[in-house]
Amino acid sequence: MKGLKWLATASAFALTVCAVPALADVKIEDIVNDAATTNDVVSNGLGPQGQRYSTLEAINKDNVANLVPAWAMSLGGEKMRGQETQPLVRDGVMYITGSYSRMWAIDVKTGHEIWQYDHRLPEGILPCCDVINRGAAIYGDKVIFGTLDAKLVALNAKTGKVVWTKEIDDFKAGYSYTAAPLIVPTKAHGPLLLTGVSGGEFGVVGRVEGRKVDTGELVWSRPTIEGHMGTLNGKPSTMTGDKVNATWPGDLWKTGGGATWLGGTYDPDTGLAFFGAGNPGPWNSHMRPGDNKWSCARIAIDPEDGSIKWGYQTTPNDGWDFDGVNEVVSFDADGKKLAATADRNGFFYVLDRTNGAFQAAYPFVSKITWAKEIGKDGRPVYVDDNRPGDPKAGKDGKKGATVFAVPSFLGGKNWMPMAYSQQTKLFYVPSNEWGMDIWNEPVAYKKGAAYLGAGFTIKPIFDDHIGSLKAIDPLTGKIVWEAKNKAPLWGGVLTTASGLVFYGTPEGEFKALDATNGKELFSFNTGSGIVGSPITWEQDGEQMVSIVSGWGGAVPLWGGEVAKTVANLNQGGMVWTFKLPKKMAAN
């Protein structure tokens, strides 16, 4: 009996606990048009463009203070750690992922669990920055998510039973998967599931892959590092970059990093998918002179064949682990098709999304030390003395000169998604004000081992706050307002047509602010730090708002002196759903 009990709890399972609402298949048109519909959320970002903007207005500045919990559901168990998911909602069912590669289906009317799936994780997984998961994709009758042992799992949306499983890569080499997959239309292949890879700190090579949604069959693969060959329909296609060693020395491109660990966005206007490529490997930039393309970059991919249509590098020859994965959000202004991205390096960039042409870049955090500015050519003007020193220049060759760099390697903005309001024309960017002591060390690649070549200690740069939610005008770079927070911000943002901005804090407060001036209008303590992303939708004539609460993620693991500010925060795992009292909503 003990053996049977262990097998039941250790293996993947789906448990039905209540009746399943009638579910209609999700079509590709539903996903592409998600931003224009209010009765569901079928994409990460409330639309593939990633604006996280809702046209709903029932909850507004005058009544948001009256929000009350409609229901709450505990994720239960001992795996309460780092809940970074964004929920999906379809036909009265909410789908969320959780830490340790789990997924739930929940009845949105009652908060009752419909089914739960626990992926069976092997020993020896190598997640860099906590055991988190950022969400799922939904198409047809399937919900699909990635796992910490670098697999993709498709589940039946009604039952939670496994439909197909595909291995992305070898988890023993450092590969994993934590992002929400992206589903896009193509003419040649039908809807494709686009995914990246995690593992940049282990010397993996980043890539984006396109798979058939129904079977998981690989259609194409596009590496993000120069010199590597892509594939199409099982055959070699084209090499990434112009030639081998154009911007990478020797053989370092073979373990060059550039992990696409945050996933992507899609622009229906241009038909392009936008992905960010992370830090180059190793962190020690003196080992790899050159731009090291396409690490620390945004790339536009044609989903038809996986070819790169344009690329823009935010931090060439990165020496601070600034990555380049942050989301690319499409928006229109002054008659132009633009895209914005807030980089870990502390600058907010505006690009022409049709061709990647640089438009502007503005600092959005304080006291940036590594660059004076972003030049008119779109390249940073480096402060040479603020690059960590070469270990070979030291007395014993074991440690280079230490510098104090701002921002820290956790970034002016990390993974947490920003929002864009079509009403105010502002971006709402969750940012952090911190720096780091950083130094370089010698390192050699070893499969499955950390491939850094650097040491660091993170430090606050202000006494009263680290986190700062900022409202930014993308056409001028002006910070219209900011809402400061003692602890770092690590969760996503939602904005609505009624002039509200929703977000959460590590202290557990779920808040709504006035989108025009940042005034706090609502706050509710969820009992654990919030590192997830909120959503809103309409259910039976009522506007609902949901957030998943549960402290964790990279900050308490990598936080240095900053970790002291979050040392007493409780882990957890709760889904909170809010609405207005019916009498209030009727008024």
Would you state the pLDDT for residue 309? 98
Reported confidence tier of residue 24, pLDDT bands at 50, 70, 90: confident
Would you state the pLDDT for residue 564? 81
At 455, is the secondary structure helix, strand, or coil?
A: strand
Q: For residues 12 and 298, which has the higher predicted lDDT (pLDDT)?
A: 298
Reported confidence tier of residue 7, pLDDT bands at 50, 70, 90: very low
Over residues 260-283, the mean pLDDT reads 98
Would you state the pLDDT for residue 76? 85
String of DSSP letters for 180-239: PPEEE--TTTSSEEEE--B-GGGT-B-EEEEEETTT--EEEEEESSTTPEEEETTEEEEE
What is the share, in percent, of the chain residues with pLDDT greater than 90?
90
Q: Is the pLDDT score of 185 beyond 50?
A: yes
Q: 123 Cβ partners below 8 Å, 6+ apart?
A: none
pLDDT digits (tens, 9 = 90+) for 225-234: 999 999 999 9
Return the closest-CA partner of residue 549 out of 489, 504, 580, 511: 504
At 432, is the secondary structure helix, strand, or coil?
A: strand
Q: Is the pLDDT score of 21 beyond 80?
A: no
Q: Is the pLDDT score of 11 beyond 50?
A: no
Q: How far apart are CA 466 and CA 413, in angstroms?
A: 12
Q: Which two tokens stand for residue 234?
A: 């099982």
User: Minimum mean pLDDT among 300-309, 310-319, 569-578: which range?
Assistant: 569-578
Active-site hit among 40, 107, 321, 343: 321
Report the Cα 108 to chain-centroid distance in Å: 25
pLDDT digits (tens, 9 = 90+) for 228-252: 999 999 999 999 998 999 999 999 9
Reported confidence tier of residue 561, pLDDT bands at 50, 70, 90: confident
Q: Is the pLDDT score of 13 beyond 50?
A: no
Amino acid at 251: D
Angle at 275 between CA 96 and CA 460, to 5 degrees: 75
Would you state the pLDDT for residue 8? 34
Instruction: Map 166-185 to HEC letters.
Output: EECCCHHHCCECCCCCEEEC
Over residues 407-418, the mean pLDDT reads 97
Over residues 80-98, the mean pLDDT reads 96
Q: Is the pLDDT score of 15 beyond 60?
A: no
Would you state the pLDDT for residue 9? 35
Q: How many independent structural domains does the chain possess?
A: 1
Reported confidence tier of residue 6, pLDDT bands at 50, 70, 90: very low
User: Minimum mean pLDDT among 56-60, 71-75, 218-222, 569-573: which range?
Assistant: 569-573
Whether the CB-CB separation of 223 and 275 falls below 8 Å is answered with no
Q: Which two tokens stand for residue 500?
A: 């509200």
Q: 5 Cβ partners below 8 Å, 6+ apart?
A: none
Q: Around Cβ 369, how many Cβ atoms within 10 Å? A: 16
Return the closest-CA partner of residue 314 out of 239, 391, 413, 432: 413
CATH of the domain at 273: 2.140.10.10
Would you state the pLDDT for residue 586? 54
Q: Is the pLDDT score of 4 beyond 60?
A: no
305 is catalytic: no
Would you state the pLDDT for residue 10? 36
pLDDT digits (tens, 9 = 90+) for 504-552: 999 999 999 999 999 999 999 999 999 999 999 999 999 999 999 999 9
pLDDT digits (tens, 9 = 90+) for 136-172: 999 999 999 999 999 999 999 999 999 999 999 999 9
- Return mean pLDDT, the chain: 94
Q: 6 Cβ partners below 8 Å, 6+ apart?
A: none
pLDDT digits (tens, 9 = 90+) for 323-373: 999 999 999 999 999 999 999 999 999 999 999 999 999 999 999 999 999
Reported confidence tier of residue 575, pLDDT bands at 50, 70, 90: very high
Q: Establish how many alpha carbons lie within 13 A of residue 132's alpha carbon, considering only the half-sphere containing its beta carbon.
A: 33
Describe the strand order of the beta sheet including 235-239 as a list of residue ranges: 182-184, 192-195, 207-212, 218-223, 229-232, 235-239
Q: Is the pLDDT score of 2 beyond 50?
A: no
Q: Is the pLDDT score of 282 beyond 70?
A: yes
Range(s) of the domain holding residue 208? 2-586
Q: How far apart are CA 61 and CA 502, in angstroms?
A: 12
To the nearest 10°, the Cα dihedral for 417, 423, 424, 427?
10
| pTM of the shown model | 0.95
